[in-house]
Amino acid sequence: MLKGKKIILGVTGGIAAYKIPLLLRLLTKANAGVRVVMTTAAAQFTTPETLAALSRNEVVVDIFPKQGSVIKSETWHVMLGQWADAMLIAPATANTLAKLAYGYADNAVTMLALALRCPLILAPAMDVDMWNHPATQQNLTKLREYGYFILPPEIGELASGLVGEGRMPEVETLRDRVDAILERSYQDMRGKKILVTAGPTYEALDPVRFIGNRSSGKMGFALAQAASLRGADVTLISGPVHVETPRNVKRIDVESAEQMHNAVMKHRKHQDSIIMAAAVADYAPATVAAHKIKKEEMKQGWYAVLKKTPDILESLGAKKGKTILVGFALETTNDVKNATAKLKTKNLDFIILNNALQEGAGFGSDTNIVSIIPRNGKTIRLPKMPKFDVANAILDRVFNKG
């Protein structure tokens, strides 16, 4: 994938910057065109001259081009932002992660990162305590929500002499990850229309109380993000969640199972695939009180009668046509048997099984462990992976892309 690709290498002031000339060599050897931007702190660890020689291009350190600079345009950041196929910031310091999380544009790297139109990949590297600091971890959560790719640091001996998480992966690993991300964002789903549902539903008991579930929406949002990056036209119908909408995704917010049912049925036509990752309530209070129920009214305890909610998968399965229908099954017991039964009774093409009780899987987690069960063919059991990678694996299977 790297051949002929245009890569921006952003270098910030971490000790691992000494490895960047080697990474640059690997990228140019793979016939990628590379432009380097760096911070003034990075220039303490590796020289702009080395990187200019290896990239055969002027390196941008100063946001205001100097007299005689070959970077003629004053708006070089806009020009490079539109030119690139991907930008990798390696090493990404704690300082730069914080700036990116808050939209700073005060140096060549952060300014260009804001003006990009292509995937941004971050390779954080720092001391273990800087990495574990809640501020850094919160910034990373924000950056993931913006749709940036984080290449996690490795555990090992650090420059400080401490041992722990924070080491930048080897340059070969970085090159391979950039290659894989370029492949993922290579628009192989252009022209496809996909509807994804995500998050929980809330079923009102009265104007302030509801029955809900613990779904965070992360799996559905990862699916929407992955499909959108691959060029699909994505509509995302979401229950109440606190997750940032991925770029270029049309989001429709709903609250109850009934609202989700209506929204899905309204948008189901002409979709190549509908992926139901939402955790939709099966039951909702039969009546909703018009006022907030007072304690005094329920002295003997509150006995609510629940009614069945509309079954979205069943409604879709009945009118499926050519749409590839994908359901999720979250089980805690008898998983494969229950999931396979659901696949058949609801007329689905695939069911994605996850077990809520497994460590690193299910609600809230950033990772998931799933099995992809097709109507025809072999079940694929995937190891624990980031939800974004799980999303791509599901899309690969659904659209038969290896």
Give yes or no for residue 185 binding ligand FMN (CB under 6 A). no
Tell me the β-bridge partners of 92. Answer: 124
Site string for ligand FMN, 97-126 (x = CB under 6 A): ----------x-----------------xx
Pairing state of beta strands 149-150 and 120-124? parallel
Hey, which residues between 292 and 331 contact ligand FMN (CB under 6 A)?
A: none
Question: Please, which residue, 108 or 398, has the CB nearer to ligand FMN?
Answer: 108
Question: Please, which residue, 42 or 237, has the CB nearer to ligand FMN?
Answer: 42
Interface with ligand FMN (CB under 6 A), residue from 23, 24, 42, 198: 42
Q: Is the dihedral of CA 270, 194, 372, 279 positive or negative?
A: negative
Whether the bond between 152 and the residue before it is cis, its omega within 30 degrees of 0, is no
DSSP labels for 236-297?
EEE-S---PPPTT-EEEE--SHHHHHHHHHHH-TT-SEEEE-SB--SEEESS--SSPPPGGG
Q: If we measure between CA atoms, which residue out of 214, 174, 20 comes closest to residue 86?
A: 174
Give yes or no for residue 39 binding ligand FMN (CB under 6 A). yes
Give yes or no for residue 41 binding ligand FMN (CB under 6 A). yes
Question: Please, which residue, 97 or 241, has the CB nearer to ligand FMN?
Answer: 97
Alpha helices (H) in 92-133, listed in sequence order = 94-101, 108-114, 128-132
Give yes or no for residue 51 binding ligand FMN (CB under 6 A). no
Site string for ligand FMN, 13-32 (x = CB under 6 A): xxxx----------------
Give yes or no for residue 229 binding ligand FMN (CB under 6 A). no
- Let me know if 213 is a catalytic residue: yes
Q: How far is the CB of 46 from ligand FMN (least distance, A)?
A: 11
Contact status, residue 272 vs residue 199, Cβ threshold 8 Å: no
Residues that bind ligand FMN (CB under 6 A): 12-16, 39, 41-42, 91, 93-96, 107, 125-126, 130
Catalytic residue positions, numbered: 213
